Amino acid sequence: MYAQVIVEYPVKTLDKTFTYSIPSILKNVLLVGMKVKVPFGTKEIEGFVLEITDICEADYEIREIIEIIDKELILNEELLHIADFLKEETLCTKIKALQSMLPSSLKAGNKKRKDYAHYEAYIRLNKEVDIESYIRQNRRYEKQIEIIELLENEERISKKDINNSSLKTLLSRGIVVEEKEQVYRLQNKEDQIKDKVLTEEQQNAFLKIKESLNEYKTFLLFGVTGSGKTEVYIKIIKEVIASGKRALVMVPEISLTTQIAQRFAASFGSDVAILHSSLSVGEKYDEYIKIIRKEVHVVVGTRSSVFAPLENLGIIIIDEEDSPSYKQENTPKYHAKDVAMYRAKYNHIPLVLATATPTLEAKARADKGVFELIKMEKRVGASTLPEIHIVDMEKEMKQKNMIFSRLLIEKIKEKLEKKEQVILLLNRRGFSTFITCSNCGFVYKCPSCDITMTFHKTSNNVMCHYCGYTIKKSDLCPKCHEDALNYYGLGTEKLESELQKIFNEARIIRMDQDVTQKKGAHERIIKAFKNLEYDILVGTQMVSKGLDFPKVSLVGVINADASLNIPDFRSNETTFSLLSQVAGRAGRSDIKGEVIIQTFNPDNYIIQCVKNNDYNSFYRKEMDFRRKLRYPPYYYLVGIKVIGKSYEVALKEAQKVKKYLDMHLNRETICLGPTTAAVLKYKEEYRFQIIIKYRFDESLKSVLKEIASFYVTNKDCYIDIDFNPNRI
Ligand code: ADP
Ligand code: ZN
C-alpha cells in the first residue's frame, strides 16, 4: 500500500503529491487526511496524506512514511474538498490551502510542536496500600494525616490546592497517587439564561429559515440595528441541534466575538467552541480539539472559523455579512462567505447572511431571487431608531471648534448629567497623524513604505501603520536639530485627552488597536463599559459594530469624511455601513438614542441616507454608480499586483503582464493599468497594479494561472492575484 503525501513546503514547484510506502505497523492505522512525517531529500519533514493506493506509479525510489503526527487530527473529506476549492478560487498551492485551515499548533512543519493539551493534576489515596496502618505509625505527622483524612472524604482533590511538603512525602511513599487529566483552558462560566419570547418579526424570520433546514439556500437577514438578530440565531440553532446537527456562527471582529460568545454560552453552556485570533495558541488548540472530538454543537468564531471541522453541519450564520474582515488579505486570499457558501452547498444546508447594512452584492442577489430576503424592520421592545443630527464642521471651524462641535459638547454634557453613556467614533488611532518640522520641512516618513508615520504619545513612538515600523520620537527635529516639530492630525489617543480636558470629571475609556494588544483587553473594556464603570467610550471602527450597551444614549462621529475620502470604489458603501452601524449603538433600550455626525460634507448623499436611515435610496444610487463605472455587483474584479525591489523592473514586468492579458482575455473583459498601487512602496518593494473587470470569461482563470506560473521562477518580481478584492 502506498500513500500520496503533499509536503509542507508551500512552493509552486512542489504543488503535487509524492508517493511513500506505508510501513506494516501503520497499514491498518493510516487514513487519508492524516498528518505524517516523511523523509524528503536529506530531511525529515511533514505533510498530509491525500490518497491511499494499492499500486505505485512513481518512477523514483519509494521511501517509507516515518510516523503519524497529531493522531487526533484527520482532515475529513469535506475539508479536503474545501482545500481544492481554495486552490482553484485563489490560485494558491494546495498545501497553503490546507495549512490555512488549521490552527498554528496543528499545522504541518510546526517547529514549536509540543503537547499543547493542558493537564490538571489530581491526587487520590492509593487503594492498594494499608492506609490504616500508615496512619497508626505516623500519627505525629499531623499535616499528613490531615491530607489523608481529606482524601478519605473526597475521592480526589486538585493537587494545586494542597501543594506542600507533607503531600510530597505521601506521594513519594506511595500512600497518595497522582493522576493527570486534560482540561480545557477556556471554561464557560456564564450563568444560563432563559431564551426570550420572540417578537413577531423574529418568529417570522425563524420560521422561514426553519422551513429550509434540510436544503441549500442562502438567506439575507436584513434586520435593522437592535432588531434582535442574535435571538433568531439562538432559536434556529436550538432547532438544528435538536435534529442532531451542528451550527457555525461567524462574527467579524474579536471585540464582537466576546459579546456574542457570552450570549451563546448563556444559552448553550459548554456546547460552544470559540475561535478567534486573540486566543492563545493553547486555547485555540483546545477549542479545535473540542470540535474534532465532536464535543460541541456550536462554533462561534472569526474568519478562519469557516474551516472549523464540524461534522454534520446543519447551518452556517454569518453575522454582519458586510464586514470587510471576512476577506483574508494574505494568501490564500479567500472570502469566508464564498467558503461558507461552498460548505452550505456541500452539506445541503442553509446559509444565513445577516446585517443591518447589506453589501450591494448580497442585496442585488436577494432582489434577483438568488437569495431569500428576510426583513426585520423594527427594534425590539420600546426602543426606536435614534435621531441623527448632522453638523457642518466648516461652520464650526470658523468658530475655532476644531474637534468638537458645540452641539456635541452640549449633548455629551446633557447625557453625563443624566448618567447615560456616550460612544465617540474616530476611525484613526494614535495621537497626531503626522509630525513635521517648521524649520526644515522634515516629515516623519516610514523608510520602507510610502507613508507618513503616526505619533503615539503614550509610548512616545512614531509608527508606520502599514508595516508596523516604529521608532522613538526625538524632541528636536532629527534632521536640522531645531526645536521646531509641529503636530497635525487627530487620532483616538488625542481625542481622548482633549475630551478629558473638557470633561475632567468624566470617566473615559478608549478602545483601539493600541490598547487591545494585550490578551483579554477587549473583554475587559467591553465589560467595564457595560458595567457602567465608564461614561464615555472612545474608539475606532472597533466600537461601531454589534455591541449592545443599553445605557448608551449618544453616539458621536468625529470625522465622518475620513472614510468617504478614501479613493476606493467601495468607500461610499463602507461609509454608509460604518455610520449606520455606529449610529445603531445608540438608544438600544428604553432610553431614546441620539447621534451626532460631524462632517465637512453635510449635503453628501451618503450622509443624508444615513441621517434618514434610508438604505434603499443609498442602494439605488450606489448601484447606479457601480453600473456606470462597471464595478461589482455588475462586474467581477481581479486585482493583480506586480511587485519588485526595483521600480523600473516592476513597472516593466507589469507592462508585460498587461500586454499578455490584452492578448488573451475575452474582448468584453476590461483590463486597466498598470498604475501605481494605492501605496506604491511597501516594505521596500514597489507595487504596480492591473485591474480586470469581467462578467463572463472562461479563459480568465487559465490565463492568470499561466501568468502566475511564469513568475514562479522570476527572481526580481512576483505576482499577487486577488479575486474580488476589498479595495483596489
Ligand atoms: P441586533 O444584533 O439585531 O442589532 P441584538 O440581537 O443585539 O440586535 O438585540 C438587541 C437587544 O434586544 C438585546 O439587548 C437583546 O437582548 C434584546 N432582545 C432581542 N430579542 C428580544 C426579545 N424577543 N425580547 C426581549 N428582548 C430582546
Ligand atoms: Zn512602513
pLDDT of residue 649: 96
> Closest-lying ligand to the alpha carbon of 463?
2
CB of 233 closer than 8 Å to CB of 317: yes
CB of 281 closer than 8 Å to CB of 105: yes
The answer to whether residue 147 scores a pLDDT higher than 80 is yes
**Residues 45/49/53/57 CA torsion (nearest 10 deg):** -40
Average pLDDT of span 113-136: 91
- State the distance from the centre of ligand 1 to the C-alpha of 381, rounded, in angstroms: 9
The answer to whether residue 37 scores a pLDDT higher than 90 is yes
* pTM of the full structure: 0.92
pLDDT of residue 322: 95
Q: Work out the pLDDT band at 564, boundaries 50, 70, 90.
A: confident
Residues 422-437 have pLDDT tens digits of 999 999 999 998 899 9
pLDDT of residue 426: 96
Work out the angle between the directed axes of helices 200-211 and 229-242 (0-180°, nearest 10). Answer: 40
pLDDT of residue 105: 96
pLDDT of residue 164: 85
> Closest-lying ligand to the alpha carbon of 462?
2
DSSP state of 139: T
pLDDT of residue 682: 93
The answer to whether residue 536 scores a pLDDT higher than 90 is yes
- State the distance from the centre of ligand 1 to the C-alpha of 556, rounded, in angstroms: 22
The answer to whether residue 529 scores a pLDDT higher than 90 is yes
What distance in Å separates the CA atoms of residue 598 and residue 603, rounded to the nearest whole number? 12
Looking at the CA of residue 223, tell me the nearest atom of ligand 1: 3
pLDDT of residue 39: 97
**DSSP string across 280-293:** -HHHHHHHHHHHHT
Residue at grid coordinates 500500500: 1
| Mean pLDDT of the residues in the chain | 94
pLDDT of residue 124: 93
Residues lining ligand 1, CB < 6 A? 196-199, 202, 223, 225-231, 380-381, 548, 588
Q: Whose CA is nearest to atom 17 of ligand 1?
A: 228
Ligand 1: residue of 224, 380, 580, 590 to mutate (most ligand atoms within 8 A of CB) is 380
Listed range (310-324, 494-508, 514-528, 605-619) with the worst mean pLDDT: 514-528
- Residue 611 CB neighbours (<10 A): 18
Q: Whose CA is nearest to atom 13 of ligand 1?
A: 228
What distance in Å separates the CA atoms of residue 311 and residue 294, rounded to the nearest whole number? 8
The answer to whether residue 257 scores a pLDDT higher than 80 is no
pLDDT of residue 506: 97
pLDDT of residue 352: 98
- State the distance from the centre of ligand 1 to the C-alpha of 588, rounded, in angstroms: 9
**Residues 651/654/655/660 CA torsion (nearest 10 deg):** 170
Q: Distances from the Cα of 105 to the Cαs of 99, 281, 283, 326, in angstroms?
A: 11, 7, 10, 22
The answer to whether residue 11 scores a pLDDT higher than 90 is no
Q: 404 versus 160: which is more confidently predicted?
A: 404
Looking at the CA of residue 230, tell me the nearest atom of ligand 1: 6
- State the distance from the centre of ligand 2 to the C-alpha of 445, rounded, in angstroms: 8
The answer to whether residue 163 scores a pLDDT higher than 80 is no
